[in-house]
């Protein structure tokens, strides 16, 4: 992997861009307001980072990362994303995205619903179950004893391989966690969501931004995913 397009320059997009540039990748990052608003971020990211339009990021390099609200997936350029490997970090928050019947009814996982919005893209779900500031705080070099696992869900082995390579370069051990239909196992309120990476699970929900994060080795992550239970999405209030 040498080049990655990232759509979304907020907490997750900028965080993954930092790790990608640090790993030696060439990154083109985009947001909704246009490349001219990304001058400071690109300057901070340093050599290897560029700003572009959403269309440019969608078609850039070997992988497109989506770090945008679910409600924005419908505005993505379908023609450019056709056939692309897409790492989707999205989650369904009804308070932000509006209520979506197919998700409330559990007919679809969020990743499967995203497929209906960008049907040509080959979606792989990862980094949706970790709070943004835990991504840099838990990233570790390969072979580090306290490296954390990161769940990877997808229906294409080739796309999962591309995303897994990126995850490993960013500082996590990729854990093949199954298909998009199984990706509820790491959705909000499941047993493998953000709390698993908390340093202090007792106080995490009171003030999660203060939590420094605690490593979750790949073997432990596999256990958590296997034991995860499907949340009642229709009852979700956030």
Ligand X SMILES: NC(=O)c1ccc[n+]([C@@H]2O[C@H](COP(=O)([O-])OP(=O)(O)OC[C@H]3O[C@@H](n4cnc5c(N)ncnc54)[C@H](OP(=O)(O)O)[C@@H]3O)[C@@H](O)[C@H]2O)c1
Place of tokens 């996982």: 109
Write out 162-208 in H/E/C secondary structure.
HHHHHHHHHCCEEEEEECHHHHHHHCCCCCCCHHHHCCCCCCCCCCH
Q: How far is the CB of 156 from ligand X (least distance, A)?
A: 21
Position 80 contacts ligand X (CB under 6 A): no
In this complex, which beta carbon is closest to ligand X, that of residue 70 or of residue 196?
70
Position 179 contacts ligand X (CB under 6 A): no
- How far apart, in Å, are the Cα atoms of 102 and each of 109, 157, 183, 199, 200? 8, 26, 15, 34, 34
Is-contact 91 70, C-beta < 8 A? yes
Distance CA 214, CA 200 (A): 8
In this complex, which beta carbon is closest to ligand X, that of residue 42 or of residue 131?
131
Binding residue for ligand X, selected from 69, 94, 136, 191, defined by CB under 6 A = 69
- CB half-sphere exposure, 214, CA atoms < 13 A: 12
Is-contact 30 52, C-beta < 8 A? yes
Binding residue for ligand X, selected from 5, 8, 149, 154, defined by CB under 6 A = 8
Position 4 contacts ligand X (CB under 6 A): no
Position 13 contacts ligand X (CB under 6 A): yes
Specify the stretch interacting with ligand X by CB under 6 A; choose among 5-13, 99-107, 116-124, 229-237.
5-13
Q: How far is the CB of 143 from ligand X (least distance, A)?
A: 26
Position 143 contacts ligand X (CB under 6 A): no
**Residues in the site for ligand X, rule: CB under 6 A?**
7-13, 30-33, 54, 67-70, 72, 75, 89-91, 93, 128, 131-132
């Amino acid at each position: 992997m040498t080049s990655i397009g990232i759509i979304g320059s907020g907490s997750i997009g900028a965080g993954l861009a930092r790790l990608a540039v640090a790993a030696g990748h060439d990154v083109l990052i985009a947001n909704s307001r246009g490349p001219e608003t990304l001058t400071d971020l690109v300057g901070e990211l340093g050599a290897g980072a560029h700003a572009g339009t959403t269309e440019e990021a969608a078609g850039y390099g070997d992988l497109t990362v989506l770090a945008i609200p679910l409600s924005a997936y419908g505005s993505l350029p379908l023609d450019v994303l056709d056939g692309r490997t897409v790492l989707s970090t999205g989650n369904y928050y009804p308070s932000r995205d509006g209520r979506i019947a197919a998700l409330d009814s559990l007919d679809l996982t969020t990743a499967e619903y995203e497929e209906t919005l960008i049907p040509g893209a080959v979606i792989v779900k990862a980094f949706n179950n970790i709070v943004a500031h835990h991504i840099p705080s838990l990233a570790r070099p390969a072979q580090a004893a306290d490296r954390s696992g990161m769940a990877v869900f997808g229906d294409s082995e080739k796309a999962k391989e591309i995303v897994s390579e990126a995850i490993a370069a960013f500082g996590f051990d990729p854990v093949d966690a199954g298909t998009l239909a199984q990706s509820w196992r790491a959705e909000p309120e499941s047993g493998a969501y953000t709390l698993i990476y908390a340093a202090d699970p007792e106080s995490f929900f009171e003030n999660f931004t203060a939590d420094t994060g605690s490593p979750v080795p790949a073997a432990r992550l596999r256990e958590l995913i296997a034991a995860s239970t499907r949340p009642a999405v229709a009852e979700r209030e956030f």
